[in-house]
């Protein structure tokens, strides 16, 4: 069922061409190419330290690659005419919460001004967050902080979700709910990039880059 307030997301394309990244004299990854369309999930897998987060940061534009390009709708993502970052929601290892604000205030800070926290009840209940809304972020557990950060992603109307190990620190009911929400995002025509270092603990992917086997 299509959720109210969600924008239809279609007809977008993300492409990388021969991405390469060195840090000092150390090669992190090379020859990374892919093409991702609406409704597709790209999984970046590999053991810790293989460069999964570094690759996500390059795809997001937070790190400049040594070589190669990232294209959105046939425009380089660093082109001033490219709308890439308008369509992107990114969650890294850090949850990017403001510790001096409550969970509710962190959500309100990032919500569209026409959307209230009350409209988030379905997600808050599924993540068992309602009872913690008035707690300061710094007092929340790692799992609770992760759920607040993920709630912001789930409430966004961005086409492309890029999530670094989204299931980390999440309890089993929360994991199942998140997997369902990610699948629903794809079925609405969204796009998804995730990382994982755990076999079989992720959503089925259309494409996979395994950094253990460059």
Residue 14's pLDDT is 97
Q: For residues 199 and 179, what is the distance between their CA atoms, to the nearest angstrom?
A: 15
Does position 8 have pLDDT exceeding 60, yes or no?
no
Q: Binning pLDDT at 50, 70 and 90, where does residue 201 land?
A: low
> Is a pLDDT exceeding 60 seen at residue 101?
yes
pLDDT at residue 192 in the model: 97
Q: Which of 136, 135, 191 is nearest to 159 (CA)?
A: 191
**pLDDT category of residue 193 using cuts at 50, 70 and 90:** very high
Nearest-CA neighbor of 34 among 11, 58, 8? 58
What residues have CB less than 8 Å from 27, skipping those under 6 apart?
A: 20, 21
**Residue 42: is its pLDDT beyond 60?**
yes
Question: What's the distance, CA 127 to chain centroid?
Answer: 17
Least confident of 3-7, 81-85, 90-94: 3-7
pLDDT tens digits along 134-168: 999 999 999 999 999 999 999 888 999 999 999 98
Give the model's confidence band at 112: pLDDT under 50 very low, under 70 low, under 90 confident, else very high: low
The answer, yes or no, to whether residue 39 has pLDDT greater than 90, is yes
Which has the higher per-residue pLDDT, 204 or 57? Answer: 57
The better pLDDT of the pair 139, 197 is held by 139
Architecture of domain 13-210: 3-Layer(aba) Sandwich (3.40)
Which residue has tokens 């494409």? 207
Q: Are 55 and 211 spatial neighbours (Cβ–Cβ below 8 Å)?
A: yes
pTM for the whole structure: 0.89
Q: Distance between CA atoms of 32 and 16, rounded to whole angstroms?
A: 7
Residue 160 confidence (pLDDT): 97
Range from 37-46, 72-81, 158-167, 185-194 carrying the lowest mean pLDDT: 72-81
Sketch the domain layout of the chain as residue ranges: 13-210
pLDDT at 2: 41
pLDDT in the model for residue 1:
39
Classify strands 207-210 and 41-45 as parallel, antiparallel or unpaired: parallel
DSSP characters for 71-124?
EETTEETTSTT--GGGGEEEE-SS----TTSBHHHHHHHHS-TT--GGGGHHHH
Are 152 and 107 spatial neighbours (Cβ–Cβ below 8 Å)? yes
The whole-number pLDDT of residue 118 equals 57
Please tell me the distance from the alpha carbon of residue 192 to that of residue 41, in angstroms, as a whole number. Answer: 5
Q: What is the DSSP letter of 48?
A: T
Q: Which residues is 196 bridged to in the sheet?
A: 45
Give the β-pairing of 88-91 and 160-163.
parallel
């Amino acid at each position: 069922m299509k959720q109210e307030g969600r924008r239809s997301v279609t007809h977008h394309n993300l492409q990388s061409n021969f991405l390469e990244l060195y840090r000092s004299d150390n090669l992190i990854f090379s020859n990374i190419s892919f093409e991702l369309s609406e409704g597709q999930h790209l999984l970046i897998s590999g053991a810790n330290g293989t460069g999964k987060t570094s690759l996500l940061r390059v795809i997001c534009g937070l790190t400049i690659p040594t070589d190669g390009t990232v294209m959105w709708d046939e425009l380089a993502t660093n082109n001033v005419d490219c709308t890439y970052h308008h369509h992107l929601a990114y969650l890294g290892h850090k949850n990017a919460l403001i510790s001096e604000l409550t969970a509710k205030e962190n959500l309100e800070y990032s919500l569209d001004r026409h959307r209230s926290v009350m409209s988030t009840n379905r997600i808050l209940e599924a993540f068992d967050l309602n009872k913690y809304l008035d707690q300061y972020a710094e007092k929340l557990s790692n799992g609770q902080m992760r759920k607040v950060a993920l709630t912001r992603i789930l409430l966004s109307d961005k086409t492309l979700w890029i999530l670094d190990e989204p299931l980390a620190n999440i309890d089993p009911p929360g994991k199942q709910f998140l997997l369902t929400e990610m699948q629903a995002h794809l079925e609405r025509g969204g796009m998804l990039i995730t990382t994982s270092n755990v076999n079989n603990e992720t959503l089925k992917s259309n494409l996979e880059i395994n950094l253990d086997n460059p």
